[in-house]
Structure 1
């Protein structure tokens, strides 16, 4: 990938040389005609074709082309293997792959339809919506020598799409997009081939195939403590920081600042040549100047040739710790030995150039450049009510949250302002001691509380000096090694700081849909995860840096982590984003760079850094210490089992009573206050989000009073106060889905009794989110989906659908599950009626347990509909034709006992016992080897697509994955030793 092969500039130079050689050769006798191109086996209805000359010999290109392990390196549309890469590309081989069509990852079932030795390989596959895809790839010797690589060659792609939805207007668009994407992929193929290493067991190839980074050395002895650590234990060996106050554009772009910081980190490590040895490079995406693959540019600048590059998503202050934790996990798994982590912003220079109307001549990469991986999550930042109210910038939302924090703490406005300005004054004193701080000037509480020209009001209660300062030029460099690589590089152990644990989690995405504006279950979850894995309590962590963009963020984090609210020395080591500086996504890298020297000087202590993105939305944390870890490093996804309170509905309009929850008054940049923004809670627990009229009476009351808890009457945007004695805030309503965990079994309970568990959009989204979490949960083996004692589900909520709220989710389709059920086993536990969509929910499960008085039916035909969420299809696959037709054509329900006799239902129980029996069945499945269970399920699900001639070959392909697995070896050992197996899932 970019950075691991010759740069595109070098390839371009080689191409130019090849063209010059070709021009000179025209004066010589004509060479022997090259072989004719291999013609594709057929032409699809919507064809794509690309031809590209490359200065690389045809045999070298073909060697890469037919190597499945190398396909992800050059096929830029590759988004992952479904079952791992095939062993070879030989005629008749089948495999499943996720590729991006029109930028959307889609699963394609491929068959290798032909191989012409040394010349071509043909793939045909079936994509979603019945689309057939053709990839016909060939390479032909160009018959001309190139200075760099000998004979050049002509790469050719023929293919396209047809069938299904591609036979409409979509087809030509997909074909054009495919041609554009394949042109970039063929360019990449030429680069890979130019740098192809013939040794199939080289460390780089081993890493790409996921087999690890060679043989692990023996443990490393830590001289200070006498302990041994695993050779692949991740350690930070060098940190560097840059704060560049010059706004000269030359050499001042973010990557250049990060490179300067990395060179400083190499000096800090005491190894000047360490940078060039890196085999993994990561970059915290910058906002002030965006690069397609910033890590590749960093690697090129320091002379490194990493196998992989990693970059964070474009928005998110959690990215810096997500990246650090990610590279630490790669090192701990043996997939890297030396990793570079760079990040920077040059917003101050960019702003100066904009004011001077001067263009910035900073690096721009080719369209095809992209990192090997992008980590983090991005989505729409605001929902419609927030957008309508003007809550579209961090300052407004954090100011709104600040008032909710004040309400949680029970403080009056003046008392609360005094407290947060004292807190921020303490932060400024710490920044004054920080040699890398952007504004190293201490301020008093009074100075921070007083609006002036330099400290203008932004949004109550915040003047400017209580907000993040993003207009900085700052960069960091962090070098992470395995203990073995650090030892081999000669880095003395007094420079080592161990990365003990990392974790990340995501809050309810939209702020106004959260149960409580002044709390953060996600911060608590990541804190519990990292501290628990590191084996320490928060009181044992001496050095802490909380992400400090606004006072509300610091206070909420302190409350969730059980840290003091009013002790700046306990909460930051940098001074925070106001004074130390807020370089876009990269602030927490500066926190790490400040923690490392503190931990070296205090080697028995621990450090904790937190990071967040968007509006207290995305969170990450990392625990560090110079003390060796007690457990192998883990980057923990804390989302799957994070306790989540019910979400609230966010409303842009409402009529009725409500209780004022939070508020802020934004200020014009060169003027007075703008219309106030409030949130109010309805008796049902919904949240109303309103921008008040410009000169409303309510706006004046907000400025003069303490209105939290006041009773209101809301009509559109008109708000009338009906009571000023504060009352408790209404709690959120009952969640439509309850998630519980019984060890390895996840239980999902539909919880809409008033509408017989009918599925609306909110419930469908909750189901999709719960299934996604179940799939991501390493501890979860089986899920059980159930309803109440009297009804499983009445299907789609027709009243909601009549309002235009159809229960269709982007990832799993109708009802939040039926288009893409989980790969892990799912059991439906059915009491009462499972009708229409409720029946389809049950049929989406792998196994069904039903009470003997339960009934199943698809009555859609009675309403002029078809059971399109898989009901007719799955009944036809599971029942005799006549029975399936009876249910589909009459709409009459059928009792559980009859369906059990026909094999649709696995177990029938007495009424009220379906869930208990399902849990027993789930426990029996969960006790078995996870990998073996998943592959057995795959065979059952996929065997209908196999012809008789290939069935046992496909069976061998799938089952062969478990033969040498760790679980298979554990199962044999456990049997011989008469003990319960300890499965690893691999």
Structure 2
């Protein structure tokens, strides 16, 4: 049953087109002298938004809350910070600075109060990055029904054109609605609800685990093979394309997604699938704000009353594959029978509505469901340096990376433009064979490369026909289920497409911090992991769909996958790509997977691979598909956990001096005229500097000259001189700068050896003392180790002659204490992992170093190692667990002696006290720790974890309850898959294959 929003009777929610906002302002001006008119906004806005609510509070109470800037963040969901402190009392003309987040991206706005007439109205106008202008008006008017609280506003930005502008407008509209709801709740004395863009908690229903044993294998008749009953199979495919021609024919994204899902359910051939344990997974829509309610609304549209609800992160083209991978993993573990994955965008309908002045009636009553589980990362895509350089949208960022790739390939401009326009021409040819393509028309390479009125330059070298086409109405959906469920439902095996493996990984998150902006090694790591698990190589894969928002995305991925760009027998797209097939933002890859699966049904012996990415080739996902049964059980792999990453670069924003241009682009206005030159350059120290120049001479030089490998001079981060010709030695200089990496040696090194994770403190110059940066790295390494399902044991060691001498006191004296958000002091001691950690100690383990060792489960030490807690001699207490853990493990008198005196003890004495597990010859600690770790790794991981819990928790148990509590914890292992596997392996006289379940 649908539960109505309790605030619905008190408020109306609507999007207000430009004409509607003007009309509203005029009505307000006519009804009250204090209400603002259009003159209160000093400029015109390309995009407008607004919301109205009826509240019981009086206007003066409302305006007092609105002007309480110290509590602004409690209700205004886009607010991030007041960099200069919250404003005090304001009047007309007051100015203040606010940091906000829009689409996850930080931005700084300089506000001016342009209208101040409390309690009736308050208006501000501001300027943000790249000359973006914005205005917001708050109005409160008494009516017989209560106080009418209205928020209207608008924004304009030359940097955010077309669908991107609509995207931001939609985000601002959703944020206004959410903020107004929060404000209403606060005025009524209730707490504000958490932002819908955050990670969600509880959801409608958690599907219970399987109640019985794994079912019998299922016969796959076409291959004659028995397959695992929980093997995930794709059984339903649905796509829809809608071409609105008037305001009467527009459709909402929810309608398009539901329509595609119904097609997919029909394609699966048996609606009885929905009687099973069902998950509804929604690809988050951008063209209309459904927030956390989208999956629930989709389930309601499909008539599914009792489903687990999942949604993707708000932004990211990796979303569809991540949702497929997540559902396939749950199916493979017997947690789920059926999953419906659907998404859509309706920017074409939205554009028609905006032109006509109509307000789309796309809102739906709140479902009443709890927030869904979120899949994927919602981290902001840009850092401040990238924002300052004007890299606010994908086109200039990808264009910048494109030019860097050209430099790596050592091509001149004409040669490279020919290559990418030819690539895109082949994609347009593929679109002509796709009945769901938005632009199913062939375009020659010359047509794609040439500037024309309908193919204007966007960001060199990209023209409009080289960029993702977002103004589409498209929806796509997939139905997944287990092989056993598909067989029971009578779905013909010829209709099945198995999901063999999936993987995901992230690049260094911000482009400007990547070692090379011309490469995407994370997609290579994900591909290798997925192919290896499936028992395949890339040569075994016949059909491909590489994510194709811009040519760089395809070229860089193909390079990592060792794929030629022009093999006619193995094209890189099944759809035609985001330019020609259509780019419905987050949902493109649902179309790509649908097209790939359709091809594999027609060619049942072939294998297919689909990639997906989000942000700026930042987060990647990949899936391996075939109508052939898989060789191994499905697995979703986080390939980023073990990825060997090149060192990140430091980004400098106020650099003065010479640097080498590694990439550049000229951006253009909507009329085709050049706007700015953006360069990325490397300093002699290996740092990166981004710069934006709008001076005509520099922009003209960027248009007329190949600036790659030229020398640039910067003053406080701004271009002061730009070379027009390359130096003859530039190639050597470029190779040296781009290959040597950042100038800073990593303070922590992580090495993987099968199930072992070896973590090395790498500050030997300060005896591995830990500052805040190192503590954060330790925390991240331990988090990664704990998250990796194949990781069994970690080894913590120090580089050089010492294990660790504790906190970096010089950094602490500057106020930089090594305390991390999740694991506390030293990045480990507050919350050690549930998996075992071994300390391999050479030399000194003093102060925090001793506390680190004590936070580990086992200690291996060289015979000449030394331990101690000298804090008392420095006026401190060993509060990173040192005194506490000694008290737990030693007799009281000995623990107190060590704490009182601060005197070091030898490894032999520590061994006698039971603090050390193994003594070894100097220099051998790491190897002895590895040997011990391998022995532990041979045990069942769940058994090891539960044993550790009993050892750690039992000291506090009452004697009368100890045995029952032990049994309660141990029972999780007694009824696990690993327990059954251990018995089978013993009976079959073989090594067990642990699953951790």
Q: Deviations over 1:270-315 (max 9, x none)?
A: 4466557672221111111233232322222222334312211111
* Displacement after TM superposition at 1:609 (Å): 0.8
Separation in 2, partners of 1:973, 1:361: 61
Conserved? CA contact 1:693–1:717, under 8 Å: no
Conserved? CA contact 2:281–2:342, under 8 Å: yes
The residue number in structure 2 matching 1:266 is 265
Change (3 A) 1:552 1:715: same
Is 854-863 or 514-523 further displaced after alignment? 854-863
The residue matched to 2:476 in structure 1 has which SS?
Answer: strand
Change (3 A) 1:736 1:579: same
The residue number in structure 2 matching 1:120 is none
The residue number in structure 2 matching 1:505 is 505
1:514 aligns with 2:535: no
The residue number in structure 1 matching 2:389 is 389
The residue number in structure 2 matching 1:285 is 284
5 Å-filtered alignment, 1:202-217, equals 208-212=207-211, 216-217=214-215
5 Å-filtered alignment, 1:778-789, equals 778-789=789-800
5 Å-filtered alignment, 1:20-39, equals none
Separation in 1, partners of 2:990, 2:268: 47
Q: Deviations over 1:197-244 (max 9, x none)?
A: xxxxxxx9xx844235x5654333333332222333222222111111
Aligned partner (choices 957, 962, 971) of residue 960 of structure 1: 971
Conserved? CA contact 2:228–2:483, under 8 Å: yes
* Displacement after TM superposition at 1:624 (Å): 1.5
Backbone CA RMSD of aligned residues: 3.1
Conserved? CA contact 2:661–2:679, under 8 Å: yes
1:430 aligns with 2:407: no
The residue number in structure 1 matching 2:912 is 901
Conserved? CA contact 1:277–1:305, under 8 Å: no
The residue matched to 1:949 in structure 2 has which SS?
Answer: helix
Aligned partner (choices 943, 947, 952) of residue 941 of structure 1: 952
Separation in 2, partners of 1:273, 1:449: 51
The residue number in structure 2 matching 1:871 is 882
The residue matched to 2:646 in structure 1 has which SS?
Answer: coil
Q: TM-score, normalised by structure 2?
A: 0.75
Separation in 2, partners of 1:510, 1:669: 27
The residue number in structure 1 matching 2:668 is 667
Separation in 2, partners of 1:678, 1:756: 40
Q: Which runs of 5+ in 1 are unaligned?
A: 1-5, 14-172, 182-187, 193-203
The residue number in structure 1 matching 2:140 is none
Separation in 2, partners of 1:332, 1:374: 20
The residue number in structure 2 matching 1:297 is 297
* Displacement after TM superposition at 1:935 (Å): 1.0
* Displacement after TM superposition at 1:738 (Å): 1.8
* Displacement after TM superposition at 1:591 (Å): 0.7
1:570 aligns with 2:561: no
* Displacement after TM superposition at 1:12 (Å): 13
Separation in 2, partners of 1:696, 1:550: 27
The residue matched to 1:329 in structure 2 has which SS?
Answer: helix
Is 618-627 or 968-977 further displaced after alignment? 968-977
Separation in 1, partners of 2:659, 2:696: 18
The residue number in structure 2 matching 1:724 is 727
The residue matched to 1:912 in structure 2 has which SS?
Answer: coil
The residue number in structure 1 matching 2:238 is 240
Q: Deviations over 1:666-706 (max 9, x none)?
A: 22334633342222223443322x22443286555443333
Separation in 2, partners of 1:673, 1:892: 70
The residue number in structure 1 matching 2:321 is 321
Conserved? CA contact 1:675–1:691, under 8 Å: no
Separation in 2, partners of 1:464, 1:858: 65
Is 420-429 or 526-535 further displaced after alignment? 526-535
Aligned partner (choices 852, 855, 858) of residue 844 of structure 1: 855
Is 816-825 or 481-490 further displaced after alignment? 481-490
The residue matched to 1:950 in structure 2 has which SS?
Answer: helix
Change (3 A) 1:891 1:958: same
The residue number in structure 2 matching 1:113 is none
Conserved? CA contact 2:296–2:367, under 8 Å: no
Separation in 1, partners of 2:374, 2:255: 21
Conserved? CA contact 1:639–1:773, under 8 Å: no
Change (3 A) 1:250 1:822: farther
The residue matched to 2:641 in structure 1 has which SS?
Answer: coil
Q: Deviations over 1:694-728 (max 9, x none)?
A: 32865554433333334455442245568733122
5 Å-filtered alignment, 1:280-429, equals 280-291=279-290, 292-364=292-364, 366=366, 369-429=369-429
Separation in 1, partners of 2:663, 2:809: 35
The residue number in structure 2 matching 1:94 is none
Change (3 A) 1:250 1:868: farther
The residue matched to 2:571 in structure 1 has which SS?
Answer: helix
Separation in 2, partners of 1:672, 1:804: 50
Change (3 A) 1:710 1:831: farther
The residue matched to 1:856 in structure 2 has which SS?
Answer: strand
1:496 aligns with 2:505: no
Separation in 1, partners of 2:674, 2:766: 46
* Displacement after TM superposition at 1:400 (Å): 1.2
The residue number in structure 2 matching 1:162 is none
Conserved? CA contact 2:3–2:368, under 8 Å: no
The residue matched to 2:915 in structure 1 has which SS?
Answer: coil
1:8 aligns with 2:6: no
Q: Deviations over 1:819-856 (max 9, x none)?
A: 22111001111112233433333232122222233233
Change (3 A) 1:281 1:828: same
* Displacement after TM superposition at 1:426 (Å): 1.4
Conserved? CA contact 1:311–1:375, under 8 Å: yes
Separation in 2, partners of 1:594, 1:511: 31
Separation in 2, partners of 1:839, 1:325: 42
Conserved? CA contact 1:809–1:815, under 8 Å: yes
Separation in 1, partners of 2:947, 2:215: 36
* Displacement after TM superposition at 1:380 (Å): 2.2
The residue number in structure 2 matching 1:910 is 921
Aligned partner (choices 809, 823, 829) of residue 820 of structure 2: 809
Change (3 A) 1:446 1:10: closer
Separation in 1, partners of 2:268, 2:975: 41
Separation in 2, partners of 1:533, 1:249: 50
The residue number in structure 1 matching 2:252 is 253
Is 299-308 or 613-622 further displaced after alignment? 299-308
Conserved? CA contact 1:545–1:591, under 8 Å: yes
Separation in 1, partners of 2:214, 2:972: 23
Conserved? CA contact 1:249–1:360, under 8 Å: no
Q: Deviations over 1:864-923 (max 9, x none)?
A: 554443334334433444554455455554433333333333333332121122112212
Separation in 2, partners of 1:179, 1:616: 35
Q: TM-score, normalised by structure 1?
A: 0.75
The residue matched to 2:746 in structure 1 has which SS?
Answer: coil
Separation in 1, partners of 2:6, 2:722: 70
The residue number in structure 2 matching 1:927 is 938
5 Å-filtered alignment, 1:188-199, equals none
5 Å-filtered alignment, 1:93-108, equals none
Change (3 A) 1:764 1:654: farther
1:819 aligns with 2:830: yes
The residue number in structure 2 matching 1:105 is none
* Displacement after TM superposition at 1:925 (Å): 1.7
The residue number in structure 1 matching 2:172 is none
Change (3 A) 1:488 1:285: same
Conserved? CA contact 2:819–2:826, under 8 Å: yes
Separation in 2, partners of 1:736, 1:231: 47
* Displacement after TM superposition at 1:444 (Å): 1.7
Q: Deviations over 1:609-636 (max 9, x none)?
A: 1101111111111111222222222222
Change (3 A) 1:752 1:632: same
Conserved? CA contact 2:459–2:666, under 8 Å: yes
Conserved? CA contact 2:208–2:335, under 8 Å: no
Separation in 2, partners of 1:272, 1:976: 44
Is 547-556 or 872-881 further displaced after alignment? 872-881
Separation in 2, partners of 1:865, 1:713: 50
Separation in 2, partners of 1:233, 1:970: 19
Change (3 A) 1:223 1:341: same
The residue matched to 2:533 in structure 1 has which SS?
Answer: helix
